């Protein structure tokens, strides 16, 4: 596997950051006056890390294929794979067994209709889980907002508004719970301090495994 830097972004920053995008592009963020030789040496020094990341991206790309809206496609719901199945039946999208049935009449607006279905389901599940953990922790939030974010699973504003990407519904429920707790606790701790993580661990003892799942499956944010 040949490693090729695809983009170098220079700015007033003092440090160098290597970023690998979900599609396998290598981006170098570097100080304005740093020489190309220094950048090349840095990339060479990170050779193994870069290769490992690129191999992981290749694994994810094979695992998470974009939906073509054809019978036999695979999609995710609450951590389980379902077979996309086009039906000539009613105008409803629904799960049954290991299949998600999708009416043929909606195929022209497939992405829009499937996104709407996910959003409806995620509102039902996320509102219930947020309310549960709010009662458990005693932390009050202002509102819950469902977004179409492709970069972040969730976020918390300084006004107590919790935002979650509807794409989070592709994750297992235990992982969803971790994201809900993570963002809810940011109302108490607007940082990632030791106190914050200690509080997370009190509620989700094995949170590290959930966090790793999100990192390893971030390609799910790019689907649909």
- DSSP symbols for 154-217: EEE-TTSEEEEEGGGGGS-HHHHHHHHHHHHHTTT-SS--HHHHHHHHHH-TTHHHHHHHHHHT
pLDDT in tens, 54-72: 887 777 666 666 788 999 9
Residue-wise pLDDT tens digits, 185-201: 999 999 999 999 999 99
Task: Tell me the percentage of the chain whose pLDDT exceeds 70.
Answer: 93
Q: State the pLDDT at residue 52.
A: 84
What is the reported pLDDT for 1?
45
Of 17, 14, 32, the C-alpha closest to 5 is 17
Of the chain, the percentage scoring pLDDT greater than 90 comes to 63
125-172 pLDDT per residue, tens: 999 999 999 999 999 999 999 999 988 999 999 999 999 999 999 999
pLDDT tens for 16-39 read: 888 887 677 888 999 998 999 998
pTM, two decimals, is 0.75
Kindly state the average pLDDT of the residues 1-30: 80
Q: What is the pLDDT of residues 76-125, one digit of tens each?
A: 999 999 999 999 976 899 999 999 999 999 998 999 999 999 999 998 99
Residue 169, classified by CB atoms within 10 Å of its CB into exposed (0-12), middle (13-18) or buried (19+), is buried
């Amino acid at each position: 596997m040949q490693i090729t830097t695809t983009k170098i972004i220079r700015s007033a920053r003092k440090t160098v950051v290597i970023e690998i995008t979900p599609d396998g592009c290598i981006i170098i963020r570097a100080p304005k006056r740093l020489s190309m030789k220094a950048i090349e040496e840095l990339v060479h020094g990170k050779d193994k890390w870069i290769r490992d990341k690129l191999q992981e991206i290749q694994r994810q790309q094979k695992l998470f294929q974009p939906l073509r809206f054809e019978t036999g496609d695979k999609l995710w719901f609450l951590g389980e794979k379902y077979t996309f199945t086009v039906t000539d039946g009613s105008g409803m999208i629904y799960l049954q067994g290991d299949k998600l049935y999708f009416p043929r009449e909606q195929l022209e607006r497939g992405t829009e209709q499937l996104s709407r279905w996910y959003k409806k389901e995620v509102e039902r599940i996320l509102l219930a889980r947020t309310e549960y953990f709010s009662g458990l922790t005693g932390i009050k939030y202002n509102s819950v907002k469902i977004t179409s974010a492709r970069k972040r699973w969730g976020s918390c504003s300084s006004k107590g508004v919790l935002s979650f990407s509807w794409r989070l519904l592709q994750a297992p429920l235990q992982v969803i719970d971790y994201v809900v707790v993570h963002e809810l606790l940011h109302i108490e701790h607007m940082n990632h301090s030791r106190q914050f993580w200690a509080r997370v661990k009190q509620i989700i003892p094995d949170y590290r495994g959930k966090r790793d799942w999100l990192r390893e499956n971030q390609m799910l944010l790019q689907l649909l």
